[in-house]
A = this chain, B = another copy of it.
Amino acid sequence: MTLTSPTIQEQGKAASTAARRLAATSTEVKNAALIGIAESIEANRKSILRANEQDLETAKRYGLDFHMMDRMTLNNARVKDMADAARNIAALEDPIGETLEKRDLPNGLNLEQVRVPLGVIGVIYESRPNVTIDIATLCLKSGNGVVLRGGKECILTNTVLAGIVKNAIEEVGIPRGAVQFVESTDRALVKEMLEMDDSIDLMIPRGSAELVKFVGQNAKMPAITGGVGVCHTYIDADANLDSALKIVVNAKAKRPTVCNALDTILVHQGVAREFLPSLAFEFGLHDIELRVDGRAMSIMGAVVDGAKVSSAQSDDFGTEFLALIASVKIVDSMEEAMEHIAEFGSKHSEAIISENTEAIEQFLNEVDSGAVFANTSTYFNDGAQFGLGAEVAISTNKLHARGPMGLKEITTYKWKVRGQGQVR
């Protein structure tokens, strides 16, 4: 018997229909599905790893770079992490059904604002196969259907993982259709998916900056176009400079390829002479390249020893480096630092290092970013670190959700109005 694969449009419709039933599914049933997914991942460890090995062999033949290969590789520990992630999501509070507001109007109408799922979430992602489990389980817990479109390089691994999820939800009575996995790797399908605003309520791109940009520009439905972080740390005149040094090293060096990594250090002129030489030394130890403005150069040029310091070009400000590179600028005041951030930042993550409470509060109040930090590292801008339990994306949108997006951030609400024949 030959089965024709459904079109991606049919998959969208099927997710939409199934999502209506999923929306009315109890927390207990959803959690049972999540535990089922975790157990099935562990029980099927060998076939997951086998599929992953095949994907890796193909990738090798196509000459994928080491970084990409590393991201897509699974092993026993990473498989266990996926199972644990599903269990963690089972342990989180169910956001659905929460009453956000309730009031009785003078005319006797009873008004209730209730949290409900968005409907269907579309996800386009690359390389890392754990995204299949992460996103599918977050959508499941939040009562949303999902259409998953993973990268070609992990197609076999993702197919096995999606099958595990579909079987586990069916096992507890949730329609299989709530989780749709696009098996074709035809690139044209991405464009088609972005036009399915009749069935997909929110699109989440997970991958390169180009992918995020493409989705943002082409999606007919709302899309989370976060992920690009041009992150600043301002070293105030009243900063504890030892602490400042430790923090900027952490924010830059710990994981330079993520969106919350530091890009630009703004240094108050009052502490520049003391701070910049030790910055050059310390960054030199961590092999971090510094691109500095003229005033900073006049201080750092003389003291460079093993440090990679060069003059900043204009595009070194406002750039997300995603590498062991940072730019440095001396400012005359906190106001100048805040102006610079307003002009060059991406409203993602910004920090102030200061012992002056008044300056801290002004900075936290006036800098318009999704997350603003005092005396700590922008690298903390992360759903798990914030205790949201899990993270779909970090949004730099201002509407709907800002910063790390967890379960609540992929829901909406509706008003229920109960009357006894009232008219207006």
Contacts and interface: CB of A to CB of B under 8 A. Distances in A.
B414 A371 contact: yes
Interface residues of A, number: 62
Interface in A362-389: 364-366, 368-377, 379-381, 385-387
B421 A370 contact: no
Given A246-B423, A418-B375, A421-B247, A398 B380 contact: no
Contacts of A402: 412-415
B385 A424 contact: yes
A247 to B, nearest CB: 6
Nearest to A118: B398
Interface in A84-116: 103, 105, 109, 111, 116
Contact of A370 (B24, B118, B399, B415): B415
A243 interface: yes
Interface in A186-200: none
Contact of A399 (B254, B377, B412, B420): B412
Interface string A386-424: 110000000001111011100000001111111111111
A201 interface: yes
Interface in A50-71: none
Contact of A398 (B403, B412, B420, B423): B412
B399 A118 contact: yes
A345 interface: no
Contacts of A403: 414-415
Count the copies. Answer: 2
A342 interface: yes
B416 A372 contact: yes
A221 to B, nearest CB: 9
A250 interface: yes
Interface string A245-268: 011011100100000000000000
A386 B111 contact: yes
A119 B201 CA distance: 25
The A interface is mostly helix, strand or loop, or mixed, namely mixed
A282 to B, nearest CB: 13
Nearest to A202: B399
Given A111-B386, A366-B20, A419 B374 contact: yes
Contact of A414 (B222, B251, B369, B415): B369
A109 B374 CA distance: 10
Contact of A377 (B365, B414, B423): B423
B417 A373 contact: yes
Nearest to A412: B398
A310 interface: no
Given A20-B368, A424-B377, A415 B399 contact: no
Nearest to A242: B421
Given A111-B386, A385-B424, A402-B414, 15 more contacts: A103-B387, A109-B380, A118-B398, A201-B399, A250-B424, A364-B418, A370-B414, A371-B415, A375-B419, A375-B421, A376-B418, A379-B423, A380-B422, A380-B424, A381-B415
Interface of A: 20, 23-24, 103, 105, 109, 111, 116, 118-119, 201-202, 222, 240, 243, 246-247, 249-251, 254, 342, 360, 364-366, 368-377, 379-381, 385-387, 397-400, 402-404, 412-424
Closest 6 CB pairs of A and B: A376-B419, A250-B423, A243-B421, A371-B415, A400-B400, A399-B400
